[in-house]
Structure 1
Amino acid sequence: MICGCTPASFRRPRALLILVCFSVSLLSFLRCFSTLGTRPFDIRRELPYIEPLDDKIRNSEFPISPDARCANFPRGIFDKIQIVVKIGAPEARSRLAAQLVYNAACVQDLLIFSDYEEQLGQHHIHDALANLRPSEWAGNVDRDIYTQIQTAKDAGDHLLRSTQGWKLDKYKFLPMMDMTWQMRSHKDWFVFIEADTYVFWDNLFRWLAHLNPETALYMGSPVWSERTFAHGGSGIILSRHGLQKLVRPRGYDCKVAGCTQYGFDLDSRCCGDEVLADALRTRGISLTGFWPMINGEKPATVRYGREEQWCEPIISMHHVNETDQAEMWNWEMRRASRSPVTFEDLWQSQEHLISSRRTHWTVLPEGSVLNARDGHASAAFAEACERACLQKKWCYQWQHTIGSCELSRSIRVGREQLPDKHGSLCISGTIMHRIAKFKQRMGHCEDAHWVRPNPR
């Protein structure tokens, strides 16, 4: 029989095949959709590099000496890892001093760069700007700031941190890279931090063990801008091959380490970490991001409430002041777990500071701002602000000051905030039953999630 139609016996298998293909495609799509926003990660079940302290020491009512912690660091662990600290001259006896007593107490070989050369105990502080050629400063008014610092320090004056001194920061990055390579070119890894950076050493050692220093790597926490770069305060990590490609050839007729800015005019540039990224880009090296493991927050400002920043290990944090340094170091020394420090661990150490309502406390809210001048009744007093938060399903925290109510989509521990010069009180609070739901949703981390490189 000749017919323009397909026999029913043939139509049914074809329809079934189409249905099966559609089902498989739909399942594949749903699987991909369910992981949107979740960063790919690896699970590694391995022994720690730094063992916890003995129970007797950890549970002592007396302060624990850093020597006890340092004794548990593997011998020679810093033979292939160079830690480099960048500071401003006024930080030498404040932030740097705290770094040396606590977080960097166990670092056997530390390089420190500043805008003034001096000796601090057993540590020599190198002047990153000392070798810059006059042509590198030509027409630059910021050189006057450098000269003033040299004169003041030579006279024994006490320097205070200022925006003027901060202007010199961007000029240190490239000379510092040059000088570091000259002094420590045999190392595998170069970790550049600042005086208020905190590094979780065991996590750093575990992470670097899975990377190849013979690959040209430039890693950090991305700052997404027109020219993406690694945030300097969170920590910048370069492999040996990466740093070698940057500094060789040094450029021009420059024979002394630290004498050039590689042809960049820094006068009009914002930040040295941004210029460093540009210099590396000219060598064919792009940023490999590892946020949130390399992090720009400190315990009080970490944003909880979303899927990330929970099971991820923390490699570094920033804006960690002298008090924070002491508290975090002592908490680490009393920690019994052999697992990597994760954001969940950090949360558990800080959760007791979260309250349904606190006066003189800011939760650093990010979300909606309701102002009295715009007619929002919720800005009139704290109770109204709290009710406004309860009415928003996404709101975890609220904060009230005179004429303003702020609602937050994330959870932050926060910090003390005393009345301003006008006597304005800061009253904040947390919707505790939503915190309980958040904790239930996140659950307990059975394993640390070592995130893979973020999009470049």
Structure 2
Amino acid sequence: MPHFTPTRALVALTAFILLSFLWTWGLPHQYVAPVLPALHDLASQGKPTAGQLLPEPLVENAGERGKEHGEGTPTTLRTEPVPVPTRAADVGSDKGCKEVRGAQDVMVIVRTSRAEVESGPPPHLLKLLACAHHVLIFSDHEGELNGHPIHDALESLPDATIAKHAEFIEYDKMQADKNHKPTLDKAKALDKWKWLPMVYKTATMAPNHRFYMFIEPDTSLSWTNLLQWLHRLDYRIPYYSGVPNTIDDTRYAQRGPGIMLSYGALQQYWPRYEELYASDWEAHVATACCGDVILAHVMKQARVEFYSSFGLLDPEMPNNMVWGQKFWCTPVVSWHHLPRVDADLLWDTQEAWTRKHGWAEPWNHYDAYETFVKPHLSEQKEDWDNVSSDTQLVAEKGRREKAAQQKQPATDTPKDPKDAQASPSKFATPTLPKRDEALDTLLQAAADSPENCKAICLKTDDCLQWKHTTAGDGVCHLGKALRLGGKIATPDKAARWTSGWVLDRVAKLTEEWGRCERAEWKFNQ
């Protein structure tokens, strides 16, 4: 009798199906445990890819640690996790800015220049540095800022590179004469060369922090919102984040509002820097416009993905922003180019906020509107441009002169009425069926005066604000977007600017947007 028969094959198949069913649904067994996000570069260096990856806190004197490690090499990076203070620290209103949750996790890096340091650091920057446990300052020279050492970001560049490019003429002068003070314009030419070595030096001098916030001296940071934002993120994920912009198809994070890099991002960056800077990246720096643009290029080569944090980080000042519902309840982490008086007001306002609400409740755009914008709105403001720009009504050339002539008493013999009908006024609006003649007349005269411009805004349902200028024969601008703008310094013979808002419409609209009982982080929610 043959060993293999159709009956035996059927029995074997049935048994196999039954065992498969029992293995999947019936028999107890252990499922594969989920694995934490693995960073391929960490794995290649013998670092753990699962379990707790706890970074070592930097020693208090960052400058001394940098000197200890010299230029910085991969051997300075620890390969074993080291315990850090708990992240569950108290966030009560009685806690100082250094004691709150997450303060130990963040390294603040300031990119500056000798010209900026000599002109004096803004007070809000000094207050921020007083709150941060870990600070690194990079410039085009060595020195000190309020007790923090200033590191020369360019010192490790090859002599051949410095001799080859004209931007380093001022750098050579500073090296030869410690008292040489370049102008701000000449100092800016060196900025693009600082970024890549600055990020590399940060990785080697302070390798084991969770998050790294790179800022400019005129970046205004909300310390409480920054810590709350970063506390929501996994530092092992390679984050490269900021306000997006695009130049020549390169999408990059703008340096002004701040650039955030995570621990995971730096771990993927530094080996690529050592491998590619001399052979590839330096040539791109030489031809690039800006350091933040080239940083995006090399982050892509390091396989670090860009994450937009627009809305949390603001590239505009409050008076230039368009205020709307989209980011109304989004916390404000940073602003750029904030005037010193507003930067001080921002810091003082948030100090009062944390005393009242503690360190776990974010300060949103709604709160910023109440502080920076609402108090300045009025029905009419002289010498003010509120950036209304949706509709422009321009008076016809010569209108003002002709209007003045019409006010003078007539001396000529009146013309035949028939001739007047045959040659209608240049400014007359033809009568059309079902047209509002009063509105037509108002439109013709809208640019004649601020009062007329305001009147046509009130006649337009979606008009929130208006502005009028006496330039030329007059221009009236209408706006349906809510903006503040700013004061215009008007010389005696220059055109005058007058602006205003329809306050009841603004109040109704902002009331509809709400009072933000819940923050909308708009990033990795």
TM-score w.r.t. length of structure 2:
0.66
Please give the secondary structure, in 2, of the residue aligned with 1:288: strand
- Which stretches in structure 2 are left out of the alignment for 5+ residues? 1-87, 400-443
Please give the secondary structure, in 2, of the residue aligned with 1:124: strand
Q: Contact 1:251–1:262 at 8 Å: present in 2 too?
A: no
Aligned residues: 384
Distance (whole Å) between structure 2 residues aligned to residue 261 and residue 431 of structure 1: 56
Q: What's the RMSD between the two structures over aligned residues? A: 2.9
Structure 1 residue aligned with 2:93: 52
Q: Contact 1:363–1:415 at 8 Å: present in 2 too?
A: yes
Cα-to-partner distance string for 1:330-384 (whole Å, 9 max, x where unaligned) = 1112222342100111111131111111112232334334444678753443223
Task: Select which of 94, 99, 106 maps to 2:124.
Answer: 99
Distance (whole Å) between structure 1 residues aligned to residue 276 and residue 285 of structure 2: 20
Task: Select which of 314, 321, 328 maps to 2:332.
Answer: 314
Distance (whole Å) between structure 2 residues aligned to residue 260 and residue 423 of structure 1: 56
Cα-to-partner distance string for 1:136-160 (whole Å, 9 max, x where unaligned) = 34643222243455567x2365x55
Distance (whole Å) between structure 2 residues aligned to residue 274 and residue 230 of structure 1: 8
Structure 1 residue 50 displacement after superposition: 4.5
Structure 2 residue aligned with 1:188: 210
Structure 2 residue aligned with 1:57: none
Cα-to-partner distance string for 1:125-177 (whole Å, 9 max, x where unaligned) = 2222222213434643222243455567x2365x5533x33232222211110
The residue identity in structure 1 corresponding to 2:219 is T
Q: Contact 1:314–1:343 at 8 Å: present in 2 too?
A: yes
Structure 2 residue aligned with 1:284: 303
Q: Contact 1:398–1:429 at 8 Å: present in 2 too?
A: yes
Structure 2 residue aligned with 1:174: 196
Structure 2 residue aligned with 1:247: 270
Q: 1:88 to 1:281 in 2, by over 3 A?
A: same
Structure 2 residue aligned with 1:201: 223
Structure 1 residue 413 displacement after superposition: 2.8
Structure 1 residue aligned with 2:347: 329
Q: Contact 1:294–1:315 at 8 Å: present in 2 too?
A: yes
Are residues 1:85 and 2:107 paired? Answer: no
Q: Which has the larger radius of gyration?
A: 2
Q: 1:251 to 1:366 in 2, by over 3 A?
A: farther
Please give the secondary structure, in 2, of the residue aligned with 1:182: helix
Q: Contact 1:169–1:272 at 8 Å: present in 2 too?
A: yes
Q: 1:380 to 1:168 in 2, by over 3 A?
A: farther
Structure 1 residue 188 displacement after superposition: 1.4
Structure 1 residue 111 displacement after superposition: 0.9
Which shifted more, 416-425 or 109-118? 416-425
Q: Contact 2:106–2:132 at 8 Å: present in 1 too?
A: no
Structure 1 residue 106 displacement after superposition: 1.2
Q: 1:205 to 1:120 in 2, by over 3 A?
A: closer
Q: 1:95 to 1:78 in 2, by over 3 A?
A: farther
- Identity, in percent, stands at 26
Structure 1 residue 324 displacement after superposition: 2.0
Structure 2 residue aligned with 1:33: none
Structure 1 residue 316 displacement after superposition: 1.4
Structure 1 residue 390 displacement after superposition: 3.2
- Which stretches in structure 1 are left out of the alignment for 5+ residues? 1-46, 54-69
Distance (whole Å) between structure 2 residues aligned to residue 52 and residue 370 of structure 1: 52
Q: Which has the higher helix share?
A: 2
Q: Which has the higher contact order (CA 8 A, sep 6+)?
A: 1
Structure 1 residue 276 displacement after superposition: 0.5
Task: Select which of 127, 131, 146 maps to 2:152.
Answer: 127
Distance (whole Å) between structure 1 residues aligned to residue 465 and residue 188 of structure 2: 34
